[in-house]
Amino acid sequence: MGRIQAVIFDLDGLMIDSEPLQLRAINRALAPAGVALSEADWMRLVGQKSIEIIRQLKDRYRFDGDLAEIEAAKLDAYRQIIQEKDALKLMPGVWDAVRACQSLQLKLALASSSVQADIAVILNKFGLDSTFAAVVSGDQVAIGKPNPAIFLETARRLAVEPQNCLVLEDSPGGVAAANAAGMFSVAIPNRLAAQQDFSAANVVLSDLFEFTRNLPRLVL
């Protein structure tokens, strides 16, 4: 691994405490099909594009309905939920991590399986609009995580070689995508992901505060 020049953040579950809200949205969209996912069900699917999640669920539960229509219902539900007062919150330590990266003159990027429109709303909501030199969404790549496409595209936009990128992820699929891209993977499991296997990550940390404390040694 070369010296780290860029840090790529995931969004859902890493920067924002959104997985419970995503679960509410997918269950609202799946309700007509009589399908209701538990937290454990959902956490086995996180990190992927929503259309790919819905395709897997349709294969598993054999329900009727058009994939694109179900995805649209899920996205609409999520947009309604995140507009609810105090529904969406930043994960602890986000701003500390951002400022620590900036102080070391690292390039910052966001690579999220969420769609571009939702990402824009969320970044605006928290005043993060101008934080990232590149933002790549799930609907801008053909194949989602754990495929490395989204991270490779992010590195291309940053004009940084993949081996000089550090990725912050909260899902095993995201870690797998970072590793496949040849990047340095740092897992920060959230409350819902804590029981999953993160042994493939280069480093596993408890939260963004621990990342901030360890950043100087991680980027050398």
Alpha carbons within 13 angstroms on the beta-carbon side of residue 73 total 16
| Residue owning tokens 């058009």 | 66
Q: Name the token pair of 209.
A: 């505060």
Q: Catalytic residue positions?
A: 10, 12
Length of the chain: 220
Taking CA atoms, 173 is separated from 7, 61, 177, 207, in Å, by: 18, 22, 6, 18
| Residue owning tokens 């966001």 | 110
User: Contact, 190 vs 19, CB < 8 A?
Assistant: yes
